[in-house]
Chain A
Amino acid sequence: MSDLNKLTLAEARDLLRSGETSSVALTEACLGAIEGAGALNAFVHNTPDLALERAGAADARLAAGNAPAMCGLPIGIKDLFCTTGVASQAASRILDGFRPEYDSTVSAKLRDAGAVMLGKLNMDEFAMGSSNETSTYGNAVNPWKVDGRALTPGGSSGGSAAAVAADLCLAATGTDTGGSIRQPAAFTGTVGIKPTYGRCSRWGIVAFASSLDQAGPMTKTVRDAAIMLEAMSGHDAKDSTSADLPVPDFEAMLTGDIRGKTIGIPREYRIEGMPEEIAALWDRGADMLRDAGAKVVEISLPHTKYALPAYYVIAPAEASSNLARYDGVRYGHRATLAAGDGITEMYEKTRAEGFGPEVQRRVMIGTYVLSAGFYDAYYNRARKVRTLIKRDFETVFAEGVDAILTPATPSSAFGLGEMANADPVQMYLNDVFTVTVNLAGLPGISVPAGLDSKGLPLGLQLIGQPWDEGELLKTAHVLEQAAGFVAKPSKWW
């Protein structure tokens, strides 16, 4: 069988169960695809030997029967997840050479379910970015291409999105602090879900902004997202914010029936200067859900406008604290010191050499907003605004709205380097539709919904009620089927 790397998780699982293919064959197909895709710079640490070893073990387990759904399926893991004995450096120079002695809870759950890790995926440094241009490994490149320009796969989970879109793996893990799963999914015609805050354990995932960070799957279909999310979810005593709630069978909830659901269209998301194509896609998405029997209503989320500035106070504040641990003492890079340098010079030189410019900026902004005299004016005010943003969502949910439909991004993928001279704030605007979801701790999913006039994918976002990923996936599945997005990037790499 050819092109095994192009299968979805569900298709591959079914072929494995029927004995029509093997995990080793699937893994070899993906390793071959990765080998030929150096130009995408998606995989940055390859682990072929480990992958084949795990694939062999998965085949034995499958033969014995009763293997879990993910058993034998080859996937990529974002570089932000610690993986035992395999480089895990959050795409930062400061973690050069770091090989963890342990696995993150999420990667361990996938490993224990029999999933086969092919290697580690490119990303923005410490997940800070929306274009995968801040990585110490260099840019990841979008497999979608419509002219001479190399396009961004989005960020921060840019390597994950590029790898899934280019069929280098069947699926990948991502993380999302302000949109880092959903924006790259939209830019690459793939599906990405950020679950409710607390659904996936954060233990062993390099921390960026702990009150916002969540892991989630990046897949080719909504069904695959349901399968993989289930394997990644669950309570973990090692993360004090992990929810002790049962994990439903998400795939079983994809019934296709959304009759009677109420879908909200937030008027504040119709931002000034929104491209006509995005507005039209959004309207079409609403029509599709209406045609499937849902009731579509206009809603108001009045504090939407303040989400980005609140995020850019809270996330850097938390990052400045989380990244204090990179000091050249316990792991990673340490600067070469001059004669007479003491410990302060070691910290300052190590961090200046180890952190890239965007990470340095955010650590410094975070330090500033937490410093004496500014704490109340910035940090506390932002946390109060966050309360109001969450309240906006609670209000519409209490009024009977089941899910909210919005665009996923304000544009399709842009060219690598095109934002190089822009104000940092311009880049932050990429997160305008996604960041509210992190601030409110809600689940959100990006579903590919069409191509723009240039031939590049566009996504729509659905936002669900807390802990109701099952219903959200069900609605997303209906939207996916109605949109019928089947386009794939043509291979140039």
Chain B
Amino acid sequence: MDAESKTTPASSRKYTDSALRLESVSKSFHAGGRSARALDNISFRARRGIVTGLIGPDGAGKTTLMRLVAGLLSPDQGQIHVLGIDALSEPQRVQSTVGYMPQRFGLYEDLSVQENLDLYADLHAVAQADRHARYADLMRMTGLAPFLNRLAGKLSGGMKQKLGLACSLVGSPPLLLLDEPTVGVDPVSRRELWSIVHRLVEERGATVLLSTAYLDEAERCAEVALMHDGKLLGQDDPAVFTRGLAGRSFHVFGTGISKRALQERLSAAPGVLDAIIQGSRVRVVTEQPVLPTAEQLGEREHGLEITPVAPRFEDSFVSLLKGSVQIAKTPPVRAMTSSATAATSNGSDVIVVSNLSRRFGDFYAVRDVNFTVKSGEIFGLLGANGAGKSTTFRMLCGLLPASEGSLRVAGVDLRRAAAKARERVGYMAQKFSLYGDLSVFENLRFFGAAYGLKGARQRARLGWALEEFELGAYADATSSDLPLGFKQRLALAVALMHEPDILFLDEPTSGVDPLGRRDFWRRINALAERGITIMVTTHFMEEAEYCDRLVIMAQGRILAEGTSEEMRARFRSDALPNPTMEDAFVALIGASENNRAGAAG
């Protein structure tokens, strides 16, 4: 494969000193007569004394690989050596030596921070005399000292991850296996976790194998292994991956054409691998390292301003994927409906939220939130897990009563409104909640009927959904068996069956690979173009770019409101001439903490 040939020169040097060696490892899982190949003939090494990143979307096989290395699973075929120990014949020796942090923390939530640490110190038989110094060191790294007596279950997501990391470090392991330590963690904690990992490597010379689904974290690893669909796409220094894309990334700005229409055209243009919206511009990755002209991009009537930009890791991942998977160019999204509702994008207020609060006991999940969404807008609600996004969302949909304040969706409070008012709203729940035992067709038919569709209209909409979302081949498949990307499509189809003019999307892209996410946003853009109002929550900072306007939430409050450009512009400085959305977020959190400290002092 193209990707592998590129990595050969680099790989020759690292064979000499590897902490971890996998030789043509395969692993399948069997359940209910079906079997799934989780890992397909993987050969992989991790060098001593550096951070090796295992990067790929959910379902790529990262966790399976981690568990194989930890001796928790045994491979169908192949060899695994961990620090010179054969993991197949001596799993206990491997387990006694390495430090391991599973995806779901592995903490005892009903034990305190100190008790969790003591347990792992006992298990690794750390002598009492050494403990004091060891704990002090860990506290210095993680900053958990003030919370020693708090129950682990009462810690925030970021602190839980730090505690999990501390627990796996108590025994001073030479090799550390971290399975998605940064998933669902806010950007500030993410940066802190990374700095702990880097300090470990520098101060103790530890070897770290870390898996992540965030492509932007690749640049923090000394070496990355790209995984997709159980296969290793390549392994090398992250800079090597992006180097191959030099001169192929551009920003395109169109005058007299909306960014969404432009993106739609550009992604269909020949020679373009990838086109996504970034702020007011469209980021384009081309097949050849040549500055394209407007004509080449298939754009004649509007003036285009094309500037080259530095390639990102995600560009290389997408181009690698498109190269290996051979995906046909997706056709532009067709008209939503025959009786095209073509809602007038007159900019009236569709969602109005004022002084909204939600209390659970004496804890405010949402506090004094205000915003307005205009019709035909894509409005984003950004924040880490636990920031109050979902609570706000549930109140908007009428699933949860507000403690204080008022909210109006299309002029009514959905909690008290007549059933009829809910027909205007489409809702796509977190994790693509569908009836897993029902087939794709049965799900569509049921939700259609729930929204009052029947007879010819129901048949027409069913046909539309199956065709538009390319679900026809899966119509009779049980929906819990669908690949994640298809589940997402089905969930969106379900929400659109009754042609709503307001669409609520709760974390619609979590877990979906970059290609699936692009496809999804392409459809959302098309809907917005047609005047449908879209409200979306996400914890992917870079998805803010797709939103017309957004609010950033943390600890139940709104930190900032505006367009993504405005937010990034607020934090532009000499040190950071081109801040990302994440930079803006981290700076916002810092500012709000300073404010609060100032107010207190």
Q: A and B bound?
A: no
